[in-house]
Amino acid sequence: MAAKITVPELTSIALMNYEGSIPFQFVHEEFSHEIYQQLIQKLTNQQLIAPIDRIFPVTQIKEAQHYTQDNHSRGRVLVSFN
């Protein structure tokens, strides 16, 4: 049985133009609640991967801010409230 290959879709809240072969959609300030829910669901289901550079505890929020200013981004810098 052959595996089904699907065409990925690209949605960006930062990149306005994309000159590739993947279907592309730019979402601006009017980012809808429904699209946000879809993105969160895809992250939850591991259909979408968000690169994470580092996670700081909320007690180190100043260190997290300095880290983002002083280092080149290799993914998102997150603050954990747990």
Q: Where are the domains of the chain?
A: 51-82
Residue type at 49? I
30 pLDDT band, cuts 50/70/90, is low
Higher pLDDT, 63 or 8: 63
55 pLDDT band, cuts 50/70/90, is very high
Question: pTM, whole model, 2 decimals?
Answer: 0.49
Of 69, 39, 67, nearest in space to 54 by CA:
67
- Which strand (E) or helix (H) includes residue 38? helix 33-44
Half-sphere exposure (Cβ direction) of 19: Cα atoms closer than 13 Å: 0
Contact predicate 75/50, CB 8 Å: yes
Number of H helices, E strands in the chain: 2, 4
pLDDT at res. 1: 62
Contact predicate 64/76, CB 8 Å: no
C-alpha angle 12-52-40 in degrees, rounded to nearest 5? 50
Instruction: Say yes or no to pLDDT of 18 above 70.
Output: yes
